[in-house]
Each structure stands twice: as structure tokens, then as C-alpha cells.
Amino acid sequence: MIGFVVKRLLYNIPVLLGVALITMLLFNVAAGDPVSIKLGKIAKEGQRKALAKKMGLDKSLVAQYGDFLVQTVTLDFGDSWNDNTPVRKIFFRGVGPTLSLSIPAFLAGAFLSIALALLVAFHRGGWLDRFMTMGAIAGISISSLVYILVLQWLLADRFKLFPIWGYEYGLGAFRFVALPMLIWVLLSVGQDLRYFRTVALEEIGRDYVRTARSKGLSENRILFKHVLRNCSIPIITRLVITVPFLITGSFLLEIFFGIPGLGSTLYTAIQNSDFPIIKAFTMLGTVMFILFNILSDVLYAYFDPRIRLS
């Protein structure tokens, strides 16, 4: 397994190099001149050169690309161009609020989706199956902005059940993230339910399920011990690949609810063309995507003995 992981990491080095190169090119071609954005077009030439040197923009693209790779390896992306705060400090300041929202919402959504998928697959063709399927389709069809604005107005503004804006560190954070968590779960369950239902129906129709029933096994034992285990590969694929996006997955929710997490930090950085923060998030997302891809392969072998790592 160690050899497999090392081999996969080596295979993904060109991916990191390519993402870094594309990020550099897009920023230098499409993002405009950061010096002009920060100083304005009427700034003196001396001021422009001094700021360009401070930002590292006086170097060639090749030199900037080399610096970018070194920063990625050392996880030191310098200081923000907006307020000169170290990017590492900005990241650790925002990671707590983001994870306090995204992890509980992700776990709750995954558990609810899998449980409902098994339930409707067991009662396939019945009123519960039709009702849940129609509800999932309707939920997917509604824009996330509609969920945010309507539930914010109804539950936070009208009925005062949740705070409408802000965040509090510590245990008090729950009352601020409860409504965004609810919206996250509603958005994720509709998509995941249909996918997991299809996977469960495929397994329920297999011969081993009929054999288990003929032996007198209970439906609960068949569903949770046999069907769920054999559904593990597609479930792992969908859930594990989602994890790297938890950092920025609460992008809209953090903006609309005033949560000072990584999503709102990235939004502000994009508005201000704050490249050190943007490239840090880009490379962090790439690294996490690679690592969780490898993790999913390892989990395949654990849950399904027929799969061997090579």
C-alpha cells in the first residue's frame, strides 16, 4: 500500500506543475495589473516600481513561476497584497468558521442521503419512493440562492429562530451556523438521494439479495450488512471526492450569512485581485483533491476485497 501511495503521489507531480502554470498564466493575462489596481493609474513611476518589487512582479514569468512552486512546497505564500497579513495567518483565521459549518453539514447530509436512499429503494415503486424522488428533483431544480434568501427571510428575519448575520467563536458558533447547515443539507440531499437510490436499486436487484431472502435473513440485515457494503464503492467515490471542496463549498453561505470563513476570504481576495491568497487556495484545493483521490482508492481495497492496489 505504501508503494502504491508513493507511486500515485509521483504520478500527480505533473498535475501540480500544470495547475501552477495555468494559474500563473491566467493571473498575468486576465487579472489585469495589480499595481494599477492598488495605486491607481495616476501613481508615480517610482511608486509603481517599488510596489511591483515588493509584490515580486518585477521578475520574469519564469522566475515568478519558480517562486510559486517553492511557495507551494513550503506552504508559505507570503503576505496578502491587500493588508500585508501573512496568508498562512489568514488561512488559519478562516478555517475554523468554515469547518464548523461544512463538516457537520456534510456528515448530516451524507447520513441522511444514504439512509433515505436505502429506504426508498426498499419501498421502490411505492408512494414513499415516488414522493421522495419528486421531492429530490424539485429540490435540485430550485436555485441555491432561492433557498438562502427564502429561509433567511422566513426563519431568521420573520420568526427570529436564527441569527441572520454574524459569527461567534466557541460553542456559541452553533446558533450562527445552524441555518446555513440546514440549507447545505437541503441542497445536498436532493442530488445525493437520487444517485444513492440508483446505486441501491442496482444492488437490490442482484442474485445475492434474492438468495439472502430465501435463507430467511431480515430485510434490515440484507440492507445494512449486504446491500450497503456492496454499494460502498460508488458511495465512497461520491463522498470522498466531495471532501476537498468543503473548504470553499460554503462560499455563498458564508457571504450571505456574514461568516468569516475561507469562502468569504476567497471572495474578498478575488474582488481585490489578491493573488497570494488566490494561488494559496488554488494549490491547496489541488493538493487536497489529489490526496483524497488516493484515499478513495485505498478505501476501495478496504471495503471490497476483490480490489487490489497495484
Query: Domain residue spans in the chain?
Result: 87-303
In Å, what is the CA distance from 194 to each residue of 39, 136, 137, 168, 200? 51, 7, 8, 36, 10
Half-sphere exposure of 168 (CA within 13 A, CB side): 11
The pLDDT assigned to 307 comes to 67
Which whole number is the average pLDDT over 207-215? 87
The pLDDT assigned to 18 comes to 92
- The amino acid at residue 236 is I
Query: Residue with C-alpha cell 455563498?
Result: 252
The pLDDT assigned to 309 comes to 59
Class of residue 102 by CB neighbours under 10 A (exposed 0-12, middle 13-18, buried 19+) = buried
Helix/strand/coil (H/E/C) assignment for every residue in the chain: CHHHHHHHHHHCHHHHHHHHHHHHHHHHHHCCCHHHHHHCCCCCHHHHHHHHHHHCCCCCHHHHHHHHHHHHHHCCCCECCCCCCEHHHHHHHHHHHHHHHHHHHHHHHHHHHHHHHHHHHHCCCCHHHHHHHHHHHHHHHCCHHHHHHHHHHHHHHHCCCCCCCCCCCCCCHHHHHHHHHHHHHHHHHHHHHHHHHHHHHHHHCCHHHHHHHHCCCCHHHHHHHHHHHHCHHHHHHHHHHHHHHHCCCCHHHHHHHCCCCHHHHHHHHHHCCCHHHHHHHHHHHHHHHHHHHHHHHHHHHHHCCCCCCC
CATH class of this structure's domain 87-303: mainly alpha
Q: Among 20-24, 42-46, 302-306, where is mean pLDDT lowest?
A: 302-306
Phi, psi of 302, deg, nearest 5: -70, -45
- 79 falls in which pLDDT band (50, 70, 90)? confident
Does the pLDDT of residue 191 top 70, yes or no? yes
Q: Among 11-20, 183-192, 247-256, 272-281, where is mean pLDDT lowest?
A: 247-256
Grid cell digits, residue 46: 517610482
- 298 falls in which pLDDT band (50, 70, 90)? confident
The pLDDT assigned to 136 comes to 87
Which whole number is the average pLDDT over 101-128? 89
143: left (phi over 0), alpha (psi -120 to 50) or beta: beta
Share of the chain above pLDDT 90, in %: 20
Q: Among 77-86, 115-124, 133-142, 243-252, where is mean pLDDT lowest?
A: 243-252
Can you tell me the distance from the alpha carbon of 297 to that of 292, in angstroms, rounded to the nearest whole number?
9
- 248 falls in which pLDDT band (50, 70, 90)? low
* Radius of gyration in angstroms for the set of CA atoms belonging to the chain, rounded to a whole number: 24
Can you tell me the distance from the alpha carbon of 10 to that of 210, in angstroms, rounded to the nearest whole number?
45
Phi, psi of 113, deg, nearest 5: -65, -45
- 89 falls in which pLDDT band (50, 70, 90)? very high
The pLDDT assigned to 182 comes to 94
| Cα–Cα nearest to 116, from 36, 206, 223 | 223
The pLDDT assigned to 305 comes to 67
Does the pLDDT of residue 41 top 80, yes or no? no
Query: Residue with C-alpha cell 497570494?
Result: 276
